Structure 1
Amino acid sequence: MNRTGLIIALTLALAVGLLFGIYPELDLKLTAWFYDAPSKTFPLKLNALAAIARDGAMWIAWGLALPAIVALLVKLARPDRPLLMSGRAIVFLLATLILSAGVLTNLTFKSYWGRPRPVTVTQFNGDQPFVAWWDPRGSCGRNCSFFSGEGATAFWTYAPAALTPPAWRPLAYAAATAFGVMTSLLRMAFGGHFFTDVAAAGLVTFLVIWLAHGYIYRWPSTRLTDEGVDAALTRLATRFRKPG
């Protein structure tokens, strides 16, 4: 999580945002690669193996978060015991997952940014007009296309990758990138999202992780300690366990 990664992410965000803002039809052209016009459908969404791969990707991502979830629950149930894993890792992993794959996607953009999904627009046998990524005035009422929650969950694997030993970190980042890209391509192939939906998911998630990593680990003024997190959780759990 260094400045080089941030510069790359911001450069990609600017390039993708401007290119697809000026030429929004590029989203339609990329999506058309996965669409079969004669059958008027996205064939891969009917493929059982592809569906298993989609579900499996989410299980993998949540499996990486499971140790932090278990450690937190055990601590809340038994505040007298030390944490089962690094306190900073628990905060970092769960906070970034909640923010990127929950708050910023499902509770914010997907609820109020009315961009229709590819499978529902007229160009792909739907009944809603296509809108560019930057336009929130689409006709989708709820659970809309921008931006991808599953894409954000897949790219969240950058967070556990950031906690791997330095010697393994480049490989972990490469694996997280490949995992996010493949999961995002599946969402596009199913007609669930446009390219800009999954690109935004990856870039926003990376920025959330980069900022959280700096806040928790790197910046002296905000840096947390494992002991401090443990003590804070102990106080929280004890407070809730007090009668009355």
Structure 2
Amino acid sequence: MVRTGWALLAAWLLGFALFRTFPGIDLGVTALFYKPGNGFPEISNALWEFLRQRIWDVSIVLFLVALVAWPVAAFRKRKTLGLPARVWAFVSLLYLVAPILIVNGVLKANSGRARPANVDLFGGSHQFTLAGTFTDQCTRNCSFVSGEVAAAVALAVVIWLAVEIWRRALPLWGVRYIRAVGVLLALFIILQRVGTGRHFLSDAYFAGLVTLTTAWLLWGVIFAGWGAALGRRLRRES
């Protein structure tokens, strides 16, 4: 857990250092998919859009199921749909805190960063701004950071958690296959959002970090007993 925390901190610091020092990373990646006069046609097709919507739907259904299963399992003090209350609590809070509250409620609502397709360098009328800069180039549902990437990474985290829970019942190839599916789902959404001019690479990068950091904190509180340990320490020192 400690190593994971340090790795996440390093990822945050490295991300801000790279994307703010070298804005050409964002612009260069976006330019790969942009065609002057034609926008972002490379992966703007019905199949990719269908897959994107279905992955989004899975996250919504999973979140709603977890919201119901958590209190039911807690009240009954036994598993619901094969999982204990704390697992459902983890899933519910992961979606609620990362994609809903932090990403959509705070960052996208206030960052003011224009989406790539709306930036003057890619056929729009707004200015490009650095990742993490709060500006006025967008009024609502802005580019920084990506809500769909945050949700897709949350889905990947839940898939990995499910693998850990049922690991003994799965063959080794099954564990690897399911984990790979989780990662590929997140990567697909990142490619789709960046490739269609809806987000810069940094929007996807930091969206993923928001979710992973939230997952790490929730894991510590719910499964590793950080809250109980802190409570005992405070009682000893009082």
The one of 115, 118, 132 aligned to 2:116: 118
The one of 89, 100, 103 aligned to 2:101: 103
| Counterpart for residue 192 of structure 2 | 186
| Counterpart for residue 204 of structure 1 | 210
Distance 1:177 1:42 in 2: 25
Distance 1:134 1:66 in 2: 31
| Counterpart for residue 51 of structure 2 | 53
Equivalent pair of 1:216/1:222 in contact (CA under 8 Å):
no
Q: What stretches of structure 2 of length at least 5 have no aligned partner?
A: 230-238
Secondary structure of the residue that 1:156 maps to in structure 2? helix
Equivalent pair of 1:93/1:160 in contact (CA under 8 Å):
no
Distance 2:164 2:22 in 1: 42
Matched, 1:27 2:29: no
Secondary structure of the residue that 2:113 maps to in structure 1? coil
TM, length-normalised to structure 1: 0.80
Greater shift in the superposed pair: 124-133 or 157-166: 157-166
| Counterpart for residue 164 of structure 1 | 163
Q: Give the direction of change, closer, same or farther, for the CA distance of 1:11–1:201 in structure 2 (3 Å limit).
A: same
Q: Which amino acid aligns with 2:219?
A: H
Equivalent pair of 1:120/1:126 in contact (CA under 8 Å):
yes
Distance 2:228 2:182 in 1: 27
Matched, 1:69 2:67: yes
Q: Aligned-pair distance for 1:186?
A: 0.4
Greater shift in the superposed pair: 170-179 or 39-48: 170-179
Q: Aligned-pair distance for 1:137?
A: 1.2
Q: Which amino acid aligns with 1:199?
A: Y
| Counterpart for residue 226 of structure 1 | none
Distance 2:54 2:203 in 1: 21
Secondary structure of the residue that 2:212 maps to in structure 1? helix
Distance 1:92 1:109 in 2: 22
Distance 2:48 2:120 in 1: 25
| Counterpart for residue 15 of structure 2 | 16
Q: Give the direction of change, closer, same or farther, for the CA distance of 1:165–1:80 in structure 2 (3 Å limit).
A: closer
Distance 2:123 2:153 in 1: 30
The one of 123, 146, 149 aligned to 1:148: 146
Distance 2:212 2:77 in 1: 33
Secondary structure of the residue that 2:190 maps to in structure 1? helix
Secondary structure of the residue that 2:99 maps to in structure 1? helix
Distance 1:194 1:211 in 2: 26
Q: Give the direction of change, closer, same or farther, for the CA distance of 1:220–1:122 in structure 2 (3 Å limit).
A: closer
Over the aligned positions, Cα root-mean-square deviation in angstroms equals: 2.6
Equivalent pair of 2:12/2:209 in contact (CA under 8 Å):
yes
> How many residues of Structure 1 are paired with residues of Structure 2 in the alignment?
219
Q: Which amino acid aligns with 2:39?
A: T
Deviation string, structure 1 residues 136-189 (Cα, Å, up to 9, x no partner) = 113111110000000000000213422433647666554333221211110011
Q: What stretches of structure 1 of length at least 5 have no aligned partner?
A: 224-244
Q: Give the direction of change, closer, same or farther, for the CA distance of 1:29–1:211 in structure 2 (3 Å limit).
A: same
Distance 1:196 1:216 in 2: 30
Secondary structure of the residue that 1:218 maps to in structure 2? coil
Secondary structure of the residue that 1:89 maps to in structure 2? helix
